[in-house]
Structure 1
């Protein structure tokens, strides 16, 4: 009988699973790799790659590790969790440099109290 892992996991563990998926997705984007390409390199379907990045707790750890290795060969799970990859640092620097758009007249009037 198939068990939906999301329904039996405590909320804390569901959150950790989601964070792991988000870190993998962030690393993939930082390294400028398409999700489909990462899935092919890992020998997974694109749907499985999607589920990994969404933090699906029902996936095997081997699939997650293969996906990580496809994105960043030689990078360990510890490096992923500590976000010590140089590509992530570069991406963070670029995000901090983004310009802020000015408010529209309607938004200014809305804030005027």
Structure 2
């Protein structure tokens, strides 16, 4: 009988897998790789890729590593978690430099309280 990994895992493990999944998703977006493409390159289903990026603790470590290798060949888990990849630094710079546009009159009216 299968047990749900989210139920049996401790809160610390859930937090770590969630953090790892978010880091993988952020790396994938920074490298501009679609989730389906990364899954195919790793030999995984798209559902497994989704579970990885969601931080599912029931996914085998080999699948985590294959997915990472598919997104960024040669990158290690340590590099991923310390954001050493240049694409992650470029992504952070893009996020910091976004301009704020002026609101339209309709949007201003919606905010008027």
TM-score scaled to structure 1, two decimals? 0.91
Matches within 5 A, 1:75-94: 75-94=75-94
Which residue matches 1:68? 68
In the alignment of these two chains, the number of paired residues is 110
Report what 1:98 is aligned to. 98
**2:33 is matched with which residue?**
33
How far does residue 30 in structure 1 lie from its aligned partner after superposition? 0.4
Kindly report the root-mean-square deviation, in angstroms, between the aligned alpha carbons of the 2 structures: 1.2
What does the per-residue CA deviation read over 1:69-95, in whole Å, with 9 as the maximum and x for residues that have no partner? Answer: 000000001000101100000000000
- Structure 1 gap segments, 5+ residues each: none
Match in the other structure for 1:53: 53
Q: Which residue of 1 aligns with 2:112?
A: 109
Deviations 1:22-79 (A, max 9, x none): 1000000100101111001101011100110010000000000000000000000100
Q: Distance in 2 between matches of 1:75 and 1:53?
A: 17
Per the TM alignment, residue 101 of structure 1 is displaced from its structure 2 partner at its CA by 3.5
Cα distance in 1, alignment partners of residues 32 and 48 from structure 2: 19
Cα distance in 2 for partners of 1:6, 1:100 equals 39
